Amino acid sequence: MDIAPIIAALKRQKTAAALIAIEIALSCAIICNVLFLITHRLERSHVPSGVVEDELVYIRTAGIGASGGDDPMVRAREDRAALASIPGVKSATIINQIPFGHSSWNTGVKLAADQQQTSANVGAYYADEHMLDSFGVKLIAGRQFTSDEFLNFDDVLKGKSDPPSSMIITKTLARRLFGDENAIGKNIYLDDTKPTRVIGIVEHLIRPNFGSDLIDADSSMILPVRLSLGYGQFVLRTDPGNRDAVIAAARKKLKEVSPNRIVLDAKTLESARSDYFKQDRVMAGLLVAVVISLLIVTALGIVGLASFWVQRRRRQIGIRRALGATRRQILHYFQTENFLIVTVGIVIGMGAAYAISGWLMHQYELPRLPLYYLPVGAVALWLLGQLSVLAPALRAASVPPATATRTV
Amino acid sequence: MLKMTHLAKAFRTEVVETYALRDFSIHVRTGEFVAVTGPSGSGKTTFLNIAGLLETPTGGSYELDGEDVSRLGDDARSRIRNGKIGFIFQAFNLIPDLNIYDNVDVPLRYRKMSGAERKKRIGEALERVGLSARLRHYPAELSGGQQQRVAIARALAGSPKLLLADEPTGNLDSQMARAVMQLLEEIHRDGATIVMVTHDPELAARAQRNVHVIDGQVVDLGEAPTLRMNVAANA
């Protein structure tokens, strides 16, 4: 199909064509960004936690030790042992925070004692000797903690001990702090006094709360600090099919150990992830609805204008048919015309998409729209345009050539 | 060139069948200039539509340039219209969104002719009708007579074997009508076969042969040399 005469004819219909092109441009700009936001939200909700989510349950309690006057450190160990003895429990640990949990422990770390600014803000897991097994985190370099490296949290809290001598960090944090260098053996400062040596690297360990930056989300460290009950929660590892039974048994077991205990939460880690990303899913759903609505409105606009043009140019179509145009050539005429208008809209829309992305970056600290979204959006709108114009174009193609000789 | 034998065209509804043409036979030889006359509703336009392959007959046979075209499919009819037939309409039927050059170009593009060949033909056709200086004008910027000359140029550019004219001077004043008619006569003298539908007996008289249609049937065939001479004398 020769486009020159179509362009020539469109120049005589500037206003209507421009309106549709603008509609397409707006749709292109909005759809590219919204699709990116949806993908970003969904990517975030699928971020790897680094733990064996389908095998874990967690239990948060309150009121422990308030009435008995027991040593909370001792009680913590006894409770953990009691929970570990439940049939089907492979391992149990007491920990300060869990991925997708309610509380988040974070600290700034430095690479030198006299460094003014911290090098990174890091999620800090205070772990006993059962943590790595219980969480199922994958140690990819270095070693686990030895028993002499563990500190008691109460001593740390009261300033009775130095910072831990060793730590395990995530691969992401290692790369963030040390680039391509081997992080094992490197020192990290938690305060201005003594360094903590990196002794191991795990594949992933997500911090409980994180934003849109997935590198920041995976910046965690594990410190060998045994918690007392007031600061910890239990995490039990079991077979996926056993989780509900283990939760019920754990509730019972904790009540046996101390009847004054209140179980605040007892859930699977999968449900914690689901709850954590609930808002993201709702938002993604809303954005999908926005995209669909926009596509429908755009399609209706194209259908409306194309139908109007077909109706208005009915005689002209008849003349073209009389002069020898086949039905296919009439169909192609309207399809090409639509393609040209949509293309103009897409070109403008791509610029607008990038501008909106820049504004979103500035306003909401979102990442820049990846360029590959632009051709994806363009193809989607070209398809939408062709689909929308098909029915009016087919109607045009069905105009009989004898229309040319009718005087009314 | 054009031979219709016992042609019929019926328009059917659920309850009634109306014949626009019935037992319609006509033979137009190559190089003839035939005028088809008749009152309104007699079937002239239906005849022209079928002759121009704009409609299909419901009965009988139609041969164009030695080929039976009465049962052809839509695409084949389009190709023959484009390649062998030139149309001149009463209402000119130029495309208002295209300039004069592009209007004449329309049927040539459907023929997938090269750009250079199209340009040459458009130039020659517009030169012939005396409008080569108005290539970039739009139809609305031309007078009725000029528009009809553009339509004639469009019809001629494709070098058709048959020129069909539907009341070609019906929308023109007498001076413009005379100019257009003279142009058609020139084209005929150059060897074109022309079939002109008209209700104007004076115009019909300028054709070589008259065919009168009443109630969808040919009722009279004959030459009108006297009248033609008279009209020529009055012109």
Chain A residues whose beta carbon lies within 8 Å of the beta carbon of residue B51: none
SS (H, E, C) chain A: CCCHHHHHHHHHHHHHHHHHHHHHHHHHHHHHHHHHHHHHHHHHHCCCCCCCHHHEEEEEEECCCCCCCCCHHHHHHHHHHHHHCCCCEEEEEEECCCCCCCCCCEEEEECCCCCCCCCEEEEEEEECCCHHHHHCCCEEEECCCCHHHCEEHHHHHCCCCCCCCEEEEEHHHHHHHHCCCCCCCCEEECCCCCEEEEEEEECCCCCCCCCCCHHHHCCEEEEEEECCHHHCEEEEEECHHHHHHHHHHHHHHHHHHCCCCEEEEEEEHHHHHHHHCHHHHHHHHHHHHHHHHHHHHHHHHHHHHHHHHHHHCHHHHHHHHHCCCCHHHHHHHHHHHHHHHHHHHHHHHHHHHHHHHHHHHHHHCCCCCCCCHHHHHHHHHHHHHHHHHHHHHHHHHCCCHHHHHCCC
What is the rounded distance in angstroms from the CA atom of residue B57 to the CA atom of residue B65?
17
Please check whether residue B168 touches A, CB under 8 A: no
Put simply, whether B14 touches A (Cβ < 8 Å) is no
Give the strand order in the sheet containing B59-64.
B17-28, B2-12, B59-64, B67-68
Which residues in chain B have their CB less than 8 angstroms from residue A397's CB? none
Name which of A9, A323, A404 is nearest B82 (Cβ-Cβ).
Answer: A323
What is the structure's pLDDT at A1? 58
Cβ–Cβ contact A315 with B under 8 A: yes
Q: Is A12 on the interface with B (CB under 8 A)?
A: yes
Distance from CA of A355 to the nearest CA of B (A): 36
Asked whether the beta carbons of residue A327 and residue B74 sit closer than 8 angstroms, the reply is yes
Are the Cβ atoms of A405 and B89 closer than 8 angstroms? yes
Q: How far is B55 from chain A (nearest CA, A)?
A: 6
Q: Does A15 touch chain B (CB under 8 A)?
A: no
Please provide the size of chain B in residues.
235
CA distance B180 to chain A (A): 19
Contact B110 A325 (CB under 8 A): yes
Please tell me if residue B97 touches chain A, with a CB cutoff of 8 Å: yes
Sign of CA dihedral A261, A262, A268, A272: negative
Which residues are within 8 A (CB) of B233 and not within 5 positions of it... i.e. 6 or more apart? none
Contact A327 B75 (CB under 8 A): yes
d(CA B90, CA B148) in angstroms, rounded, equals: 8
Interchain proximity A9–B98, CB inside 8 Å: yes
Contacts of B154 in chain A (CB under 8 A): 323
* Chain A residue numbers touching B11 (CB-CB < 8 A): none
> Do the chains contact at A5 and B105, CB–CB below 8 Å?
yes
From B144, B38, B89, B11, select the one nearest A407 (Cα to Cα).
Answer: B89
Closest chain B residue to the Cα of A399, Cα to Cα:
B54
CB contact under 8 A, A404 and B109: no
From the list B81, B102, B107, the residue facing A8 with the nearest CB is B102
pLDDT of chain B, 235 residues: tens digit per residue: 899 999 999 988 888 888 899 999 999 999 999 999 988 888 988 999 999 999 999 999 999 999 999 889 999 999 999 999 999 988 889 999 899 999 999 999 998 889 999 999 999 999 988 898 888 999 999 998 899 999 999 998 988 989 999 988 888 888 888 888 888 898 898 888 999 998 888 888 889 999 999 998 998 655 554 444 333 333 3
The pLDDT of residue B101: 95
pLDDT for B113 equals: 87
Confidence at residue A232, expressed as pLDDT on a 0 to 100 scale: 81
Q: What is the pLDDT, as a whole number, of residue B150?
A: 94
CATH number of B30-55+74-234: 3.40.50.300
Residues of chain A with pLDDT under 70: 1, 63-70, 407-408
Q: Is B45 on the interface with A (CB under 8 A)?
A: yes
Å between B220 CA and nearest CA of chain A = 25
Tokens of A291: 């995209």
| Å between A19 CA and nearest CA of chain B | 19
**Residues 6+ away with beta carbon under 8 Å from B39:** B199, B214
On whether any CB of chain A is under 8 Å from the CB of B98, the answer is yes
- Mark yes or no for CB contact A12/B54 under 8 Å: no
State residue A45's pLDDT score: 87
